[in-house]
Structure formats: structure tokens, C-alpha cells
Structure 1
């Protein structure tokens, strides 16, 4: 049995991921922005706990980290929360995962939600400070963060996952990818020990794929981490 945190778990892929893990007998803590979204008492009883906070707000991110840390060291943290539109996209999709990673105890496993759209993201980190980063930028940067941590934190595996374009509220009813397959890779990475690669993978439907080359570039990884540290005032190590 593992202790697992899933962010953005009130609905969609996050809820499906958390539910699958709970069904498998794991202790699951969910993060939600608004507790009013948890309307089913039977569903709420499934969780080890709930942490609350708006990941578009830097002060609230600190609060989410404090709440989550009360549960102790997690075996796995799944950074699922995401939004599509700027200016919140870079804060929720990149800055919040960075800050939560830096502020919480190192888990055994880190999983970050990416997107195939990271391939059209920009390496211009000036967009971070300017507040002009796009969704594509934010997904390139969080993918880079995931792969950077794979080589920086011994004892912690770190992966990025493209869940596909799935029919959630964010993806839209007409999205062509399989909804169930959208969370299965996260569940698998969170609970299995025999993945190849063991760390530093970019995954789509349980298969490793080549990410944008910048995500693997050690120099860009370093620049990104420094830019996030400068922007948030939170060091990674």
C-alpha cells in the first residue's frame, strides 16, 4: 500500500487516477481547488485526506504544500492539475508543480502531466517573468522539470506523461483519445517498479516516447530551474 497525492483530482483525469489508485487499495490524498466540488459523501470517504487550494495563486501553493506535508512523506506525487488558458496556465501547469516539489519532502516517485503540445512550446524563459507563457510553453517547461529531476534527485524517480487528448471538461467532448487510457499510465508509474526507463521517461499510453529535445538538454534544464527559483523565491534543493 502506498501513500499517494494527486493534484487537481475533483474531476477528469485527476479524479479517475485517484479513484483507480484507491480501488487498488492505496491511501490517496487528493488536492482540489474548491471543496464544493466534492459533492458525493461516499466518494469523499474513499480518500485518506483532502488538501485545498488554488494553484493559480503562489500563496495558496504554499498552503497546499503545508497541508500535504501533514500526511508525511508521500510514496508518489502525481502533479495532474492543469489549465488550458493564459495567464493561469504557466502558474498551475509549471510553477505549482515546481513549488510543491521544492517545498515537500522528496517522494519515491514524481509524475508530471505533460501534453503532446509541449512539442510546440518555447524555450524563451523570458515569457515566465513577463507572464506571457502559453499552454504549450508551460507543458514544455514542466516536462523539462520532470526530466531534470530524474538526474538530480537520487532515490526519486521522475517521469512526464502525455495522457492524450481525452474527452474531459478540459479536453472537450469531441476529443478523440481514450479516456480510460488517459489515466492508466499514471497509475502504472505510481505503483510498478519494473518500468523501463526506471526514471526520466516521457510516456504515452505506457510507452516511452521522445520528448522535445530541449526537455533533455542539461543546460536548458538548469536555466529553467534557476528561472523558477528566481520567480518564486523557492529553491529546489
Structure 2
């Protein structure tokens, strides 16, 4: 059995990723801050709920301890939890954006590493964004060029860099970051753009189901590796 944890998975891309991996036979742990929403989402797709707030060290440690006690290992970790951070550009907003979108990756990864090392094919996927790509935000032909989301972009650049650095420091584990595509979720509702979450989740699922000799340390979308 493939044991999988997805953070921020009670809705949007995370939920659809959980559903699709569950359909592929994974034992999916659906991580969410809100117990009521998380339990309902997990029940809807036959997943297992684990309370997980990526901004809280104890919560991350407790969630992975729960999985470790039940399963003994973790095969796939999907960092999906994130916020748009489209409010005021100030210190508190910046700290919140980076705490969720970047530091949360460190918290959960560090808690998960002992379990990932017990897997025969450990895989970590970071749902990042080309909004954090220097190449994309400086390219007038890309939609990111016109996206006024400084904190989101900066924190997603950090998320991608963390993923690449983990790939270098943990050669036995595949770490890849993904741009899932512009998606219609709660985060993008104000912009009125994006395709259904199920379509974008397919991109995440592809990276979550790589063979043991699959790529690591990359940033990619559905068409392949991206500059960033």
C-alpha cells in the first residue's frame, strides 16, 4: 500500500489530488486545520483525516506521529496548503504568507523525513507557482507578469527553492515543485479565472506517482520542466 499525506486537502486542488490518489489505491491522509471540514472531506472520498496546521510545529509533529503509529512509513507527501496573501503589504502579512507557504514546508518535511526514509519510493511534491518564477514574472507574454501579488510570489519562490535544496540534501527522496496551472479555487475567486481543480490535480498526481528513477530537484508544469 502507498501511504500518502496531503496538506490543506479539504478543498480545491488538495481535495482533488486526494480523491485521485485514493482512486489509484493510495491510503490517503487528508490534512486540514479545521477538523469538521477535514473529516467531512475525508469521508466523502474514503480518505483518513488527520488534523494538521502547517503553521504550528506541534500540530505537524503530532500529525506525522499519528501516521507513523498507524502505518509505520510515509511514501508520498504533498505540500498543498497555502494562502494567497493578497492583503496589505506589511510585516504581519509577510510573516503570515511566509509562515504558511514556505516555513510550513520545513515544519512538515522535517516531521515527515523519518517516515519517508522507510519507504522504498519516497516522493515529495510541493504545489508551488510560476508566480514565484523570476523568468515568468519578467516575461510580458506570461500572465504572471501582470499579477500584483508580491507576498504570494515571494513565498512561492521560497517554496520552490526549499524543494530544490531538500532534493540536494536528501538524495534518497524525490523532491519536485509543480505549477499546477491556473485553477478556479477560493484563492482565485476574486480574479474569475482558472480551470476546474480536478484538471490541475492531475499534474500534481503525476509527480506524486513517479517511478523510483523519476526526476528530482525540478520545477515543472504539465508540459515539463520550467525555468524559474
* Interval containing the TM-score (normalised by the shorter chain): 0.7 to 0.9
Q: Distance in 2 between matches of 1:41 and 1:27?
A: 11
Instruction: With the length of structure 2 as denominator, give the TM-score of the two structures.
Output: 0.77
1:187 matched to 2:195? The reply is no
What RMSD in Å do the two structures reach over aligned CA positions? 2.4
Match of 1:154 in 2: 171
Structure 1 gaps, min length 5:
122-132, 212-237
For residue 57 of structure 1, report the CA deviation from its aligned partner.
Answer: 3.0
Task: Select the residue among 197, 210, 219 that pairs with 1:202.
Answer: 219
> What is the TM-score of this pair, normalised by structure 1?
0.75
1:63 maps onto 2:62 in alignment? yes
Give the match for residue 113 of structure 1: 127
CA offsets 1:5-55 (integer angstroms, 9 cap, x no match): 1111101000000000001111111101101113368416x11x2210322
Separation in structure 2 between the aligned mates of residue 180 and residue 18 of structure 1, nearest angstrom: 10
Question: Superposed, which structure 2 residues align to 1:88-103 within 5 Å?
Answer: 88-103=96-111
Decide which structure has greater helix share: 2
- Evaluate the alpha carbon distance shift between residue 209 and residue 195 of structure 1 in structure 2; reply closer, same or farther with a 3 A threshold: farther
Distance between the aligned counterparts of 2:111 and 2:184, measured in 1?
A: 33
Counterpart CA distance in 1 for 2:162 and 2:7 is 17
**How far 1:96 sits from its partner (Å)?**
1.4
Runs of 4+ in 1 over 6 A off after TM superposition: none
How far 1:119 sits from its partner (Å)? 2.1
Is the aligned partner of 1:6 residue 2:20? Answer: no
Measured in 2, the distance between the counterparts of 1:206 and 1:178 equals: 18
Q: CA deviation at 1:106?
A: 5.0
Pair 52,184 (structure 1): closer, same or farther in 2 beyond 3 Å:
same
Residues 149-176 of structure 1: per-residue CA shift (max 9 Å, x gap): 2222121111001112210111227123
- The residue number in structure 1 matching 2:182 is 165
- Give structure 2 stretches of 5+ with no counterpart: 86-92, 117-121, 136-149
- Deviation of residue 189 (structure 1)? 1.4
Question: What SS does the aligned partner of 1:39 have?
Answer: helix
Tell me, what secondary structure is at the counterpart of 1:96? helix
Counterpart Cα distance in 2 of 1:205 and 1:155? 24
